[in-house]
Amino acid sequence: MINKTTYILTIIALAIFSCSDEHGALKRDIPPSNEHYAEGFQLLENNCFSCHSPNAALENAIAPTMSAMKEHYVMDDASQAQFTRDLISFLNNPSEENARIPGAVKRFGVMPKMSFSDAEIAKIATYIYYSELDQPGWFEKNYQVEKEKFQAQPDASLTPLEIGKNMAMKTKGVLGKNLLEAINTQGTENALAFCSTRAIALTDSVAASLNARIRRVSDKNRNPDNSANDAELSYIAATKLAIAQGDSPKPQLTQIGDKQVGYYPILTNEMCMQCHGQEETEILPNTLTRIHELYPNDLATGYKVDELRGIWVVEMK
C-alpha cells in the first residue's frame, strides 16, 4: 500500500503539520488548525469517560472502552471528516441499527441519548482521532496529564448557558451510568427501584459537588416531586413546538431573582422505551406493574423515540 509517492507526501504532510508544543511528543501530530483538541478532552472527561472507560484494562465495563470504540470507527484509512460524520450520526441517534461494534448492544444495552451540537461532537471526534487512547499504556501515561491541564483551565470562556449545560450533562452521565449498571445486573424491573430511590439523591449529590441546584422535571412526570412549574412548563411547551416543526431543541437561560437558571431538553431514545414507551407493546407487564406500584399517578409512559421526556433545570449562583 505504501508506495513511494505516498511516503514522500506523508513526510511533507508531517513536516507541515507537526505540532511543536509540549504535548506533541505524546500524541499523533496535530494539525495547527485543531484548536478543538483540548476542548474535546474536556467534553469526553465530562460526558463520556464515566461510561466509556479510557482505561482499556478495566473490568466490569458498562460500555465499550474508548479504544474499542476507536478501533471500530477510525479504521486505518478513515479521514477525520468521515469519523466526525459517523460520530455525529451515532450520537444523534444511538440505536441498535446505528451501532457498529458487534455484540455491544447485546452486552451493554443501547446508549442513552445525550444532547450535543454537531460542533461539540466535532471537538470530541478531534480528540479521539488524534489522541493515542487506542494505544497500550495511554491511560497510565496520558490521562492524568490531560486531566490536570483540563482542571487548570478556567471556565472563563464559557457562557452561563454552557456552564449549566456541562453540569446537566455531567449529572446525566452519572445517572445514566448507574441506570445502565442497574439494568444490566438486575434487569429492567428491578432497575425501577434504583430510579425511585437513587435518581434524585444522585442528582443532588452531583449538584452539591458542582455547587448548583439541579433537577429533572417533566410536564408528564412519573415522580410527583419532578413536576414542572409554570416557567418550566412554558419552556417545555415551546420546545415541543420547535421539535414538532423540525427544529432542534434549544436550551434557554433565565434570570430568576439572583440566580441564573438554565433549561436543557431531555430527549428519548430506544433505551428509554422499556420504562417510558407504549404500555401494551414496549413496557413488559411485570415492569408496568412495578411502575404502578411505585408511582400510582405515573404520567410518564406512551413516549416515542426522539420526544421531549423532560428538562434539566440548573440553578447557578
Binding mask 237-266 for ligand HEC (x = CB under 6 A): -----------------------------x
**Helix or strand or coil: residue 252?**
strand
Block residue for cell numbers 448492544? 105
Which one among 127, 309, 314, 316 touches ligand HEC, defined by CB under 6 A?
309
| 221 in contact with ligand HEC (CB under 6 A) | yes
165 lies in the site for ligand HEC, by CB under 6 A: no
CA gap 149, 162 in Å, rounded:
20
Q: Which of 214, 274, 277, 316 binds ligand HEC (CB under 6 A)?
A: 274
170 in contact with ligand HEC (CB under 6 A)? no
- Judged by CB under 6 A, the residue of 122, 167, 271, 308 near ligand HEC is 271
CA distance linking residue 309 with residue 112, whole number of Å: 13
- Rounded CA gap, 167 and 206, in Å? 8
Among 196, 213, 219, 243, binds ligand HEC (CB under 6 A): 196
Q: Closer CB to ligand HEC, residue 19 or residue 162?
A: 162
Considering Cα of 95, then 96, then 97, then 98, what sign does the dihedral take?
Answer: positive
Neighbours of 93 (CB within 10 A): 14
Which range binds ligand HEC by CB under 6 A, 5-13, 33-41, 63-71, 143-151?
63-71
State how far the alpha carbon of 119 is from the alpha carbons of 16, 40, 88, 213, 250, in Å: 25, 10, 9, 27, 14
- Which is closer to ligand HEC, CB of 18 or CB of 117? 117
User: Under the criterion CB under 6 A, does residue 122 sit at the interface with ligand HEC?
Assistant: no
CA distances from 10 to 4, 19, 81, 135, 168 (A): 10, 15, 18, 21, 42
Out of 84, 92, 126, 223, the only residue in the binding site for ligand HEC (CB under 6 A) is 223
- Would you count residue 308 as binding ligand HEC (CB under 6 A)? no
**Residue range at the interface with ligand HEC (CB under 6 A); choices 12-20, 33-41, 174-182, 255-263:** 174-182
276 touches ligand HEC (CB under 6 A): yes
Stretch that binds ligand HEC, among 6-14, 238-246, 254-262, 272-280 (CB under 6 A): 272-280
* Contact call for residue 133 and ligand HEC (CB under 6 A): no
Tell me which stretch binds ligand HEC (CB under 6 A): 13-21, 23-31, 177-185, 252-260.
177-185
**Are β-strands 252-256 and 212-217 bridged in parallel, bridged antiparallel, or unpaired?**
unpaired
Among 272, 308, 313, 314, binds ligand HEC (CB under 6 A): 272
- The full DSSP string for 96-143 is TTT--STTHHHHH-PPPP----HHHHHHHHHHHHHS-TTSTTHIIIII
What's the order of all strands across the beta sheet hosting 259-267? 212-217, 308-316, 259-267, 252-256
Which of 27, 36, 52, 123 binds ligand HEC (CB under 6 A)? It is: 52
Please list the helix, strand and coil fractions of the chain in percent, rounded to the nearest 5, in that order. Answer: 55, 10, 35
Neighbouring-strand partners of residue 60: none
> What residues line the site for ligand HEC (CB under 6 A)?
47-48, 50-52, 63-64, 69, 87, 90-91, 94, 99-101, 104-105, 108-114, 124, 173, 176-177, 180, 183, 188, 191-192, 195-196, 199-200, 216, 218, 221-223, 226, 266, 268-269, 271-272, 274-276, 300, 309-310
